[in-house]
Amino acid sequence: MPYYRSVGDVPRKRHTQFRAPDGRLYAEELMGQEGFSSDSSLLYHRHLPTAIVDAREYDPPAWRRVPNRPLKPRHLQTHKLDAGGSDAITGRQHLLANEDVRISYVVADRPSPLYRNAVGDECLYVESGTARVETAFGVLEVGTGDYVVVPTSVIYRVVPTGEAPVRVLAVEATGHIGPPKRYLSVRGQFLEHSPYCERDVRGPAEPLLADGEDVEVLVQHRSRAGGPGSGGTAWTRHVYANHPFDVVGWDGHLYPWAFNISDFEPITGRLHQPPPVHQTFQGPNFVICSFVPRKVDYHPQAIPVPYNHHNVDSDEVIFYTGGNYEARRGSGIEQGSISVHPSGFTHGPQPGAVERAIGVEYFDELAVMVDTFRPLDLCDQGLACEDTAYAWTWSGRAPD
Ligand SMILES: [Fe+2]
C-alpha cells in the first residue's frame, strides 16, 4: 500500500532493543518486497517467527486447467457451483488460470485454516456476506463489495461472521497487486484524478494476539515441480511452535488492506469512456477494473453502451455482481455470471442493446473485470458451470 501505517507498539528507533514487560526481547521481522528495494513493514513478535516444528507436503483439492480450445467466448455461472460446506481458502473452486493469475470462486460458511500465499498477492472481492479477515497485522472486517488485498506471505484466515455464507471471487497473482501507478505521485500519494484515495482505504487498526502452540499454517509456494495444472505452485503444511498471530506492533507500507467498490468514483464523459477509466488495481500482466453505477455518456447523440471492440492483447473476464448489465441483456448473463472474451474474438453488446441504450442517462451496473495479457486456461470447475450456448448469442444460431 502506498502510505505509511503504524499499529500497536513499536520502539522509537528501528533495530533497537524492544522488550516485553517481562524483560524478554521481542523478535523483529522485516517483511519486504523486491529484495530490500520496495515497500516493507517491520513487525515485532512475541515469539520467533522462524520457529517451526514440522513441515509436510500438503495436497490441496486437485484442479486441472485446459486451454480455451476451440477458441470461444465463455459464460460461467458461478451460482450454479456447489455452495457451502467449505472455507475461503481450501474451498476455492478454480475457474480460470494462467501463469500470472488464478481466478476462483468460493462460498464459505466456516473459518478457513491459517494460510500463507507465498506465490503472490491475493485480491479477494466479497460478492456478499461478511467476514473477519484475521491476519498477523491485525483484523479487517469486510462485507459486500469489499476488495481485500493480502500481500504475499501474510499469514491470514477468513472467518465468516454472518448468517449467510460469504461469497468471494479470489484473484491470486504471481507477484504484487496495487493501485494503478498512474494514480500515484512519485512518492506514492493518490493523485487528484484517482477514482479512490487514502480515505477510502482501510487497514488493520490494532494488533491481533492469539495464544497457542503447535499451530498449523498451510503455505502455497512456488515450485517448478508442481503437478499438472498446478501453475507451478505446491503446498506445504508448516507447524509453528507458537501461534503466528503474536505481533504486538508493526509499522511500514506493507500490510493487508480493504477498499469498498462503492467508494470507487466513476469517471464519466460526454462520449463512451474506455475501460482504463474503470481500472482499480494493477498486477503482473493483468489489471482489475470496477464497473459501478454511474451517470452515462451525455453527448446528445451518445451511445452509452460499449462499441464492439477487440483488445488484441487481452483476455477479458467480467464478473457480474449487481444491478443490470445493459450491454449483455438477452445473453443469459445474470448475477454471479462471468463472461470470458478472449483475444482472437471481437466482442460487443448483445443485439438490440445499442438501440435500447440510446437516451439512457444512468446505468445501475456493478461488475468486476480482470483483463489478462496472457491467455487464460479454463479450469475444471469453470467448465462445470459453463453455459455453452453463450458463444452463439450474438448470431442467434448455434452450429448444427
Ligand atoms: Fe470488453
Please give the distance, rounded to the nearest whole angstrom, from the Cα atom of residue 274 to the centre of ligand 1: 9
Task: Give the distance (Å) from ligand 1 centre to CA of residue 29.
Answer: 43
Q: Would you list the DSSP string of 5-62?
A: EEEE---SSTTS--B-TTSPBPEEEEEESTTTTS-EEEEEESS-TT-EEEEEE--PPP
User: Cell triple for residue 96?
Assistant: 480460470
Residue 85's pLDDT is: 84
Q: Which helix (H) or strand (E) holds 137?
A: none
End-to-end CA separation in angstroms for the chain: 53
Q: 119 alpha carbon to ligand 1 midpoint, in Å?
A: 29
What's this model's pTM, rounded to 2 decimal places?
Answer: 0.96
Residue pair 75/386 in contact (Cβ under 8 Å)? The answer is yes
Please give the share of the chain, as a percent, with pLDDT higher than 90.
91
E-state strands within 118-183: 122-128, 131-135, 138-142, 146-150, 156-160, 166-173
Distance 147 CA to ligand 1 centre (A): 21
Measuring CA to CA, which residue among 174, 146, 169, 142 is closest to residue 156?
142
What does the radius of gyration of the chain's CA atoms come to, in whole angstroms? 22
Residue 336 and residue 150: Cα distance in Å, rounded?
A: 23
How far does residue 340's CA lie from ligand 1's centre (Å)? 9
Residue 368 burial (C-beta neighbours within 10 Å; 0-12, 13-18, 19+): buried
Instruction: Work out the angle at residue 324's Cα, subtended by the Cα atoms of residues 319 and 328, and round it to the nearest 5 degrees.
Output: 70
CA 325 / ligand 1 centre spacing (Å): 13
Render pLDDT for 245-301 as a digit per residue (tens, 0 to 9): 999 999 999 999 999 999 999 999 999 999 999 999 999 999 999 999 999 999 999
Rounded distance from Cα 342 to ligand 1 centre (Å): 10
**Which parts of the chain register pLDDT below 50?**
228
261 C-alpha to center of ligand 1: Å?
Answer: 20
294 Cα: distance to centroid of ligand 1 (angstroms): 18
Ligand 1 centre to CA of 348 (Å) is 7
Residue 99 sits at φ, ψ, to 5 deg, of -70, -20
Cα(2) to ligand 1 centroid in Å equals 29
Q: What is the pLDDT of residue 388?
A: 96
The alpha carbon of 346 and the centre of ligand 1 are apart by a number of angstroms equal to: 9
Burial 171-200 (b: 16+ CB within 10 A, else e): bbbbbbbbbbeebbeeebebeeebbbbeeb
Q: Phi, psi at residue 131, to the nearest 5°? A: -160, 155
Q: At 186, is the secondary structure helix, strand, or coil?
A: coil
> How many angstroms is it from 92 CA to the middle of ligand 1?
26
Closest CA to 44 of 13, 68, 69, 71: 13
How far does the centroid of ligand 1 lie from the alpha carbon of residue 347, in Å? 6
